[in-house]
Amino acid sequence: MPSTLTTCTACGCTCDDIRLSIDAEGSVGEAANACEIGRQWFALPSADGPVAMIEGKEATLEDALARAVEILSAARLPLVTGLQHATTEAIRAAVALADQVGACVDWTASDSDAASTLALQSAGSVTATLGEVAQRADMVVVWGLDLATTHPRHFERYSLEPTSQWISGRADRTPVVIDPVSAMTAHMTDEYFQLAPNRDYEALVVLRSLLAGIPLDAAKVQQQTGVPLTEWQELVDKMKQAKFGSVIHGGSLSASRESLIALTQLMADLTAHTRWVAVPAGSAGNKSGAASVLTWQTGYPLGVSLAEGYPQYGPGEWTTKALLDRGEANAALLVGSIGETTSIPTIALDWQSSDAMNSATVAIRTARPGVECSGTTQRADGVMLPMRAARTTDAPTTEEVLERLKKLFEK
């Protein structure tokens, strides 16, 4: 069979040049251009067995949908969550359903998920697309993660090797790593700053202070950051001389709202001298798309309550973990797994087997995006990319299931 061009969502690179070939048994035989993480991702088997289950027993899809309607109708405060591995179209359908049933809707599975969004609301961002980084960045700082291991094609596609009319590949770039661990990425770059663990904020304040010409105590700087003040000063001087610099960040920095605000402020400070941007390395799935769809549909990016008939914003109050920890949500619609099971009545929609699917009151097997159905996903830098189906399946798409649920509520 001919190969199908699709997009891989196994990591934040979101590579859109993957060509899937399906073998005679209907499995993914090859994922050309994919890295090892991507090949393992596409090799994951889709769940088999019945399309629908009610309390662990096989059911028709119609009966499962009817039971789902009963659960959501009876709930005092239903929660619509997951969303991270769904297509943009499915997320839009989930938000519409949440509006109809008066649910809280959210995509965060942990407190750190919300950090970048809350930082953006507080301080804005100085950023760019990965295409701009690939075309223009002559200095790249990788902060807080082993990019070569977690995002194997990032250097190849975006941050180190691409050529353009402004950059002649690796020879024209100065790569720097700031991270507590001397991992593979550190050995591939020009300079390595071994930052003390969980000292991202302190290091960013040091860099901002040096840019502003504020005198610092060298002993205290080394004690708090693990790096000598003279080395931080040398880094600042190089950052000021770059024509276009980019910080690719992740790890503990990206999980801290305060550190992300400080990073944005550092990028703004540097614009007095040259052009610098901060771009998240991103993670697997479509978190960026979930935040964008929620903002587009409700005005808020996460933790939205639609219980009163209009959107109310409550990060830390109506986010997934908070609602489940406090026991306030008494029914849940999981659009993809959230990594844990719940004791409340649950409707789970997913393409793969999981603890949440196995324990759900109603479980509906759906088509796998980018392999069994088409749709769009959003890269960490906000660029929308297409996913295409390489094979057929007997399962409905998540969007179709959500649309059918919505129509049942309209009757």
The reported pLDDT for the residue numbered 322 is 92
In this predicted model, what pLDDT tens digit does every residue of 215-237 receive, in sequence order? 999 999 999 999 999 999 999 99
Two structure tokens written together for 195: 């930052």
C-alpha distances out from residue 16 to 38, 188, 312, 382, Å? 11, 25, 36, 14
Q: Which of 10, 11, 30 is nearest to 19 (CA)?
A: 30
Residue 310 CB partners (closer than 8 Å, separation 6+)? none
pLDDT digits (tens, 9 = 90+) for 94-110: 999 999 999 999 998 87
CB under 8 Å, gap of 24 or more: what pairs does 222-229 form?
224/196, 224/199, 225/195, 225/196, 225/199, 226/180, 226/194, 226/195, 226/196, 226/199, 227/193, 227/194, 227/195, 227/196, 227/203
- Comparing CA positions, the residue from 183, 208, 204, 179 lying closest to residue 194 is 179
Query: What would the two tokens of residue 293 be?
Result: 């769809």
Ordered by where they begin, the domains of the chain are 47-111+285-373+389-410 (3.40.50.740), 127-270 (3.40.228.10)
Confidence of residue 394 (pLDDT cuts 50, 70, 90): very high
CB 81 within 8 A of CB 292: no
Q: Max CA-CA distance within the chain?
A: 71
| Dist CA 44 CA 171 (whole Å) | 38
pTM for the predicted model, two decimal places: 0.94
Q: Put the strands of the sheet holding 28-32 in their side by side order.
A: 4-6, 18-22, 28-32
Task: Taking each helix axis as running N to C, give the angle between helix 218-225 and helix 200-211, from 0 to 180 degrees, rounded to the nearest 10.
Answer: 150
Element (H, E) at 89: helix 88-101
Which tens digit of pLDDT belongs to each residue from 38-50?
Answer: 999 999 988 888 9
pLDDT average, residue stretch 249-253: 94
The DSSP string of 255-288 is T-HHHHHHHHHHHHHHTTTSEEEEEE---SSSHH
144 residue type, one letter: G
Coil, strand or helix: which one is 150?
helix
Tokens of 339: 């990594």
Does the pLDDT value for residue 402 go beyond 70?
yes
So what's the pLDDT on residue 339? 62
How far is Cα of residue 361 from the mean position of the Cα atoms in its chain?
28
pLDDT score of 23: 87
Name beta bridge partners: 178. Answer: 143, 193
